[in-house]
Amino acid sequence: MSELELLLTRCVCHVCIATDHKSHDVVPLEKAADDEKVNIIARAQLVKGKKEACRGVIREFEKTELELETNITTAKRQVSQATEQMMGKLRQLEREAISALEKTGVSRIEKLTSVKASVVTLEKQLDQAFEFSNNL
User: How far, in Å, CA of 100 to CA of 94, rounded?
Assistant: 10
Q: Do 11 and 24 meet the contact criterion of CB atoms below 8 Å apart?
A: no
Q: Where are the alpha helices (H) located in the chain, listed in sequence order? A: 14-18, 29-135
8 band by pLDDT with thresholds 50, 70 and 90: low
29 band by pLDDT with thresholds 50, 70 and 90: confident
Torsion on CA atoms 5, 8, 11, 13, rounded to nearest 10: -60
Q: Do 7 and 32 meet the contact criterion of CB atoms below 8 Å apart?
A: yes
Give yes or no for residue 32 having a pLDDT over 90. Answer: no
Beta bridge partners of 26: 8
Residues 37-84: tens digit of each pLDDT: 999 999 999 999 999 999 999 999 999 999 999 999 999 999 999 999
Give yes or no for residue 3 having a pLDDT over 60. Answer: no
Domain count, the chain: 1
Residue span of the structural domain in which 22 resides:
4-135
User: How far, in Å, CA of 27 to CA of 6, rounded?
Assistant: 6
pTM (2 decimals)? 0.52
